[in-house]
């Protein structure tokens, strides 16, 4: 009876060893960010982003387990481990493809979802309560960096806070004082573009990048599925 191909066996091992290393890196970096206060400050990560870090920890753990199953299954020629690896990788691929399809379908509706969120966020810009001061300062930084003003309608999103002497992020410097970039509001030259537009464009652009990454990973995962099933069948015929 035919034996197991050494080429396929060690290709499978190398593939899964790299897979396992990637899982270790993701898990290690995620845990480091989660527990290290200095790293959280350097990367500007607050408690609202911990859910994303926790998700990366889960992803890293799953990749490590699958990589381990694939490596051991290849070296030991274990059909059980190879089958578990195949099923796990297939489930991830299905979820990934589903997420990609949903991302493509809802990409055109990003502006609707974001605008619903921005309505509530606008109230924080208009508030005079001290608890929203940090958010307002951070938003001014966003305005300066992206040459925009307000969230949905422009300077009116700031309400009475716009008239404060400290609210100068909306004002156009002389170098940007052009009709297509700036407009006049209450005797001030301010940016015409709203920051809501900037946020929506940013999300749409990065959704395309994420879908591209998902497609690239899907190709790698299909190769892994092919290796595992080919090796499984060879062991079965041995």
Q: Look at residue 40 and tell me if it is in a domain.
A: yes
Domain at 163, CATH number: 1.10.1450
Q: How far is CA 132 from the centre of its chain?
A: 26
Together in a domain, 47 and 129: no
Q: Look at residue 77 and tell me if it is in a domain.
A: yes
Together in a domain, 132 and 215: no
Together in a domain, 140 and 73: no
10 Å CB burial of residue 75 (0-12, 13-18, 19+) is: middle
Together in a domain, 215 and 159: no
Q: Look at residue 21 and tell me if it is in a domain.
A: yes
Helix (H, G, I), strand (E, B) or coil at 214: helix
Beta strands in the chain (DSSP E): 182-185, 188-191
Domain count for the chain: 2
Together in a domain, 96 and 212: yes
Q: Look at residue 203 and tell me if it is in a domain.
A: no
Q: Is the pTM of this model over 0.75?
A: no
CB burial of 83-97 (b: ≥16 within 10 Å; e: otherwise) equals: ebbbebbbebbeebe
Together in a domain, 20 and 61: yes
Together in a domain, 214 and 96: yes
For 161, the domain range is 110-198
Q: What string of pLDDT tens digits covers the 238 residues of the chain? A: 445 677 778 888 888 888 888 888 888 888 887 787 776 665 555 555 566 677 778 888 888 898 898 888 888 888 888 899 999 889 888 887 887 777 777 766 766 777 777 777 788 888 888 888 888 888 888 888 888 888 888 888 888 888 776 678 888 887 766 777 888 888 888 888 888 888 888 877 777 777 777 777 788 888 888 888 888 888 877 6
Q: What is the rounded distance in angstroms from the CA atom of residue 131 to the CA atom of residue 109?
A: 32
Together in a domain, 18 and 90: yes
Together in a domain, 10 and 94: yes
Q: Look at residue 1 and tell me if it is in a domain.
A: no
Together in a domain, 74 and 191: no
Together in a domain, 100 and 173: no
> What is the structure's pLDDT at 60?
83
> What is the structure's pLDDT at 50?
66
> What is the structure's pLDDT at 181?
83
Together in a domain, 55 and 147: no
């Amino acid at each position: 009876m035919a034996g197991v191909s050494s080429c396929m066996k060690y290709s499978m091992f190398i593939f899964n060893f790299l897979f396992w290393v990637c899982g270790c890196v993701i898990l290690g970096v995620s845990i480091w960010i989660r527990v290290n206060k200095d790293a959280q400050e350097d990367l500007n990560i607050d408690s609202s982003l911990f859910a994303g870090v926790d998700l990366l920890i889960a992803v890293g753990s799953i990749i490590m387990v699958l990589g381990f199953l694939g490596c051991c299954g290849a070296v030991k020629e274990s059909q059980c481990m190879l089958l578990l690896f195949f099923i796990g990788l297939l489930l991830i691929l299905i979820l990934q493809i589903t997420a990609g399809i949903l991302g493509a379908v809802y990409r055109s509706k990003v502006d609707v979802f974001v605008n619903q969120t921005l309505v509530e966020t606008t109230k924080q810009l208009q508030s005079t309560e001290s608890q929203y001061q940090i958010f307002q300062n951070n938003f001014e930084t966003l305005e300066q960096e992206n040459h925009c003003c307000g969230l949905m309608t422009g300077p009116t999103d700031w309400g009475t806070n716009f008239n404060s002497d400290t609210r100068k992020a909306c004002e156009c410097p002389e170098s940007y004082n052009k009709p297509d970039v700036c407009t006049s509001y209450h005797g001030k030259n301010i940016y015409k573009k709203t920051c809501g537009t900037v946020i929506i464009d940013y999300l749409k652009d990065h959704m395309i990048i994420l879908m591209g990454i998902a497609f690239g990973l899907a190709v790698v995962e299909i190769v892994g599925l092919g290796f595992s099933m080919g090796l499984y069948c060879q062991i079965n015929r041995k």
